Structure 1
Amino acid sequence: MAQNTAIKVNETSRSAVGRDGVLDIAARLFREQGYGSVSLRKIAEAAGIKAGSIYYHFGSKDEIVAAVLDAGIRVVHASMRDAITDLRADTDGETVLRAAIRAHLRALLDVSDYTSANVRIFGQVPQSVRDANLPTRRAYEAEWDSLLSQLKKDGTLKQDVDIRRLRLMLIGTLNATLDWFDPDRGSADALSRTYADVFLNGILQRQDT
């Protein structure tokens, strides 16, 4: 009898991982190993639960993936939006743009497995999962478009700048840092300053004429 009680207590403890716990573990595994290498069984083993227990919370692996993708975008979106909101109303446009770049990079590289998992596996998942994530992704892109359009309106950006192309370049370049960023060789903050300098000032040494 005592042995059976111990088994029940152990199983209850394992099932206490919960939906959020499963997502946290899945996000870390997707970030580290990609989409194809991570199975429901592998997620369950990392969570210390039986594979069947996952079905209490999710109907399939792709349902977990969809939740991870949405959470990843929301984390970086909230980080960028909060960084802008925290600035004074009279903050100059360059400082605003630098703050947005810094917030995106920090969320991507320092804050959450979800953000980096999103960038790593988005191109690997089935089209149906990508389509499901598009509304969340589009909302973040719209936030950038709105910011860049305002900076163009107030004269911070050149009037001939194509907002959509600039946003694609910015986000694409920032996301690509996941492939090579090494925290032992520098911080996300330092990297954001370097990137902002290049975006805002260019790379060519111009001579006065």
Structure 2
Amino acid sequence: MASADPQRQESGAAETRRRILDVAARLFRQQGYAGVSLRAIAAEAGLQAGSLYYHFGSKEDLVVEILDEGIRAVHQGVAEAVGRLPADADGASLLRAAILGHLRSLLRLSDYTSANVRIFGQAPESVRRRSLAVRQAYDAYWDALLAEAQARGALRADAEPRSVRLLLIGALNASLEWFEPARGGVERLAESYADILWRGLAPEPLTPACRED
């Protein structure tokens, strides 16, 4: 009897692993961390519950991989959007591209980006710690980008990049809860966020000629 082709076996295992991840990311996005069990993931993926442990040792192992892939997808989307700009682009162009890249990755690319935002705070601390390095790399990318935009005159000199990043990324991620494509595209939303960032919310002060006597 001929032995199984090792290369085919490896390919089949990789396809099964990817199917498990895809199903799990979708379920976590829809139902949250606590609402999804390994048994439910296995059933949705067409596997016996015990078969899932061949690919992932625990629910935590599976969640860490989904969290990391979600962050990496957004990080790559932003880096590619910024990378398409000319080297001498002004600071405002840098940040507008980054905002659009983040939103496109978050709202259009995959269940992984949405699951990352929705379940990170629900996951056990041990899971969050294991995913910290990937998250910190993305935070550092934004801090450097904001500092560069500041150096190019797009932000006030007293604006602290980390604080700007926390405010901005928090607002961008919150769009997952209410964004409706029918009410305007991602590009329009990105432009709106960028305008608020640079113009603020307060109305322009009245000029002396416009003030009431």
| TM-score scaled by length of structure 2 | 0.88
Match of 1:146 in 2: 144
Match of 1:40 in 2: 38
Residue deviations 1:70-125 (CA, integer Å, cap 9, x gap) = 00000000000111111111212111110000000111111111011000000100
Q: Distance in 1 between matches of 2:87 and 2:35?
A: 47
Superposition pairs for residues 172-191 of structure 1, below 5 Å? 172-191=170-189
Match of 1:126 in 2: 124
Q: Is the 8 A contact 2:103 2:190 kept in 1?
A: yes
Match of 2:19 in 1: 21
Unmatched 5+ stretches in structure 1 = 1-13
Which is further off, 15-24 or 138-147?
15-24
Q: Report the CA distance shift for 1:16/1:65 in structure 2 as closer, same or farther (over 3 A).
A: closer
Q: Distance in 2 between matches of 1:183 and 1:151?
A: 29
Match of 2:4 in 1: none
Match of 1:58 in 2: 56
1:73 to 48, 71, 74: 71
Residue identity over aligned pairs, in percent, reads: 53
| TM-score scaled by length of structure 1 | 0.90
Q: Distance in 2 between matches of 1:168 and 1:208?
A: 34
Q: Distance in 1 between matches of 2:45 and 2:166?
A: 36
Q: Report the CA distance shift for 1:15/1:134 in structure 2 as closer, same or farther (over 3 A).
A: closer
Residue deviations 1:121-180 (CA, integer Å, cap 9, x gap) = 001000000001110000000000000111112222110101110010011110111111
Match of 2:201 in 1: 203
In the TM superposition, residue 15 of structure 1 has moved relative to its aligned partner by 7.4
Unmatched 5+ stretches in structure 2 = 1-11, 209-213
Q: Distance in 2 between matches of 1:37 and 1:78?
A: 29
Match of 1:49 in 2: 47
Residue deviations 1:5-48 (CA, integer Å, cap 9, x gap) = xxxxxxxxx97851111111100110111000100111111111
CA RMSD in angstroms comes to 1.4
Q: Distance in 1 between matches of 2:21 and 2:14?
A: 13
Match of 2:160 in 1: 162
In the TM superposition, residue 52 of structure 1 has moved relative to its aligned partner by 1.2
Q: Is the 8 A contact 1:17 1:47 kept in 2?
A: no
State how many pairs are aligned. 196
Letter in 1 for 2:170: G
Q: Distance in 1 between matches of 2:63 and 2:207?
A: 54
In the TM superposition, residue 185 of structure 1 has moved relative to its aligned partner by 2.1
